[in-house]
Chains A and B, each alone.
Chain A
Amino acid sequence: MGCSQMMNRELTAKIMNTLRARAVARRLWQTAIVGCALIVSLAAHEAFAASSKIYDQQERRWIEFTPERAKAFYKRHNQTPASFSRQVVPFRTAEKPGTIIIDGVRHFLYLVLPDKKAIRYGIGVGREGFGWTGIVQVGRKQEWPRWTPPKEMIERDPKLEKYANGMPGGPENPLGARAIYLFEGSRDTLYRIHGTTEPWSIGLNISSGCIRMNNDDVVDLYQRVQIGAKVIVLFQGASLLKGV
């Protein structure tokens, strides 16, 4: 193991502990339209509800999963509902191991494993879902990515002006611990899979069109996924019609 890798791990552990101990970047996250608002239509698709549904094992029924419920659940349990926890699940597919399949409807990201299995992660997506459907590739990966708020966002919230040239990576950065950049051929689509400073939001359609994961999960995915891996974004409603 190289020195820089060890340092990275130490840094990661340190920052992750900090993350768990502190409630960070609340206001910033709420005003930020996590990272990629510039390229996602700012006209929110009102028809696409901010809530999703989760299965209540005790009540044996589907319940609305709203931001309020999500916050309350997270406060009570210090974690998202079990269905959004990282887990290995049976997954029959013709896709090769290493492929990522993103189901924005159910808020799951699958990393295909051998033997008809996959690792399933909980995700959060934008108000209008992911906004598009198609096949892209992992073009780049970044630890503790820098975040630059789009110009429109700064116009709405001048306090973000100080980040006009970018906010360094770290526990307060809304992109979280890792970012996986999605490319179409050699072109950056400007969509990312990234971490979050608001882990309670996993399972919800809020903010903008990127894919959010809690930091532990995005670190896990980051370690497993290869540059060039196929990423299939499934359709949600009519998002398909927009294309990449």
Chain B
Amino acid sequence: MLKQICRVIVLACGVVLASGIARAADVVIGIPSWSSADATAHVVKEILSSRLGLDVAVKTGTNEEIFAGIDQGTMHVHPEVWLPNHKALHDKYVLGRKTAILSEKGVPAEQGICVTRRTAERFGIRKIEDLSDPEKAKTFDTNQDGLGEMWIGDSDWSSTRIEKIRAKSYGHAKTMQLLEAQETVAMAAIDAAVAVDRPLAFYCYAPHHLFSLHEVVFLQEPPYSPLSWRVVDPADDPQWLDHSQAAVAWPTSFLHIVYSAKLADTHPKAAKLLSAIRLDVDTVSEMTYAIVVDGIPAADFARQWVKDNAERIDAWAAAK
């Protein structure tokens, strides 16, 4: 009997504790697996908690998990949605279900394939079609199988799927082995390649701390044309790779904050502030470099950044 009473008490305590934790977070910010999103997430967290007194939590997840969390009400903010990369998720939740809202102004971003500057200078590899040249592709061959190797992103990134399409369309899918891995591994590979002056090609995007750490350059590509950009979503067509074609540069991309439509009811000031936040390339680069390269803890950096940018945040808070 005593045991049963104890069990009930323990269970009740657990329920109270769990509900307390659940209640503690007014806003949950999802953090996908790349560094600039991590930096932005912590800055947004600091802004919402310091300006509005909200309890804000952060939680890691894939893009799909974060969007689904926003849809279901378990998460409230995605700090960095890339368009067009996340167009399918955007269309589903922002345009379709209307459970998520895209902040109006995005940060312009760039993405493509990069090489180290020394690779471009020593081997004359400056254009993306150089990767389709079997002889030039061998420059990147590390296992003597006649194919080069290049990192194209993490396996759960939307851009990785599109890089596969682009590799097929340009032709370097036949001359280069396309490798998927965590970004940390790829960044360390760049560090090591630069250290011994080894040629390297890899997917890259800006803003990113990489450009402050190493001399890397984008490979030249034919400009983006909507007529030449046919990217089929695997959810719509299992033959997506065969039916896609994109032998042109990425369109100019934009990074947006996405937040839950329910915030307008539950925390309207938070929703208003999130819609008003205006970051830019320099800010995102600065934040990422400080956290990733200088090793400043994200929470510490965010606290200082919010202090140093008080007027800017005031303007966002006052925006109509």
Contacts and interface: CB of A to CB of B under 8 A. Distances in A.
A39 interface: no
A7 interface: no
B135 interface: no
A134 B185 contact: yes
Interface stretch (B1-9, B58-66, B84-92, B189-197): B189-197
A92 B213 contact: yes
Contact of A110 (B151, B192, B213, B292): B192
Interface string A6-44: 000000000000000000000000000000000000000
Contacts of B142: 105, 235-237
Chain B at the A interface: SS class: mixed
Contacts of B121: none
A110 B185 contact: no
A90 interface: yes
B195 to A, nearest CB: 5
A110 B195 contact: yes
Contacts of B213: 92-94
B24 interface: no
Nearest to A49: B144
Contacts of A239: 143
Contact of A238 (B143, B195, B196): B143
Interface stretch (B96-104, B175-183, B238-246, B247-255): B175-183
B185 A235 contact: yes
A60 to B, nearest CB: 14
A98 B15 CA distance: 41
A72 interface: no
**Contact count band on A:** 20 to 34
A136 to B, nearest CB: 11
Contacts of B177: 237-238
Nearest to A55: B196
A238 B149 contact: yes
A154 interface: no
A89 interface: yes
A1 interface: no
A48 B182 contact: no
A129 B143 contact: yes
A135 B185 contact: yes
A48 B144 contact: yes
A96 B293 CA distance: 8
Contacts of A135: 182, 184-185
A127 B45 CA distance: 48
B295 to A, nearest CB: 6
B207 to A, nearest CB: 14
A106 interface: yes
Interface string B136-178: 0000001111000101000000000000000000000000010
A134 to B, nearest CB: 7
Contacts of B185: 133-135, 232-235, 240
A47 interface: yes
Contact of A237 (B145, B188, B194, B292): B145
A108 B192 contact: yes
A93 B191 contact: yes
A135 B214 CA distance: 22
Nearest to B194: A92
B187 interface: yes
A233 B184 CA distance: 10
A47 B192 contact: no
The residue among A48, A92, A108 with the most chain B CB atoms within 10 A of its own CB is A92
A50 B142 CA distance: 13
Nearest to B209: A94
A240 B181 contact: yes
20 contacts: A48-B143, A48-B144, A90-B195, A92-B191, A92-B214, A94-B209, A96-B295, A101-B192, A108-B196, A118-B195, A134-B182, A134-B185, A232-B184, A234-B189, A235-B185, A235-B189, A236-B143, A238-B177, A238-B179, A240-B181
Given A48-B143, A238-B145, 19 more contacts: A47-B143, A89-B195, A92-B191, A92-B213, A94-B209, A94-B213, A94-B292, A95-B188, A95-B191, A108-B192, A110-B195, A120-B195, A135-B185, A232-B184, A233-B185, A235-B189, A236-B143, A240-B185, A241-B179
| Nearest 4 A/B pairs, CB to CB | A237-B143, A93-B191, A103-B192, A232-B188
Interface of B: 142-145, 149, 151, 177, 179-182, 184-185, 187-189, 191-192, 194-196, 198, 209, 213-214, 292-293, 295
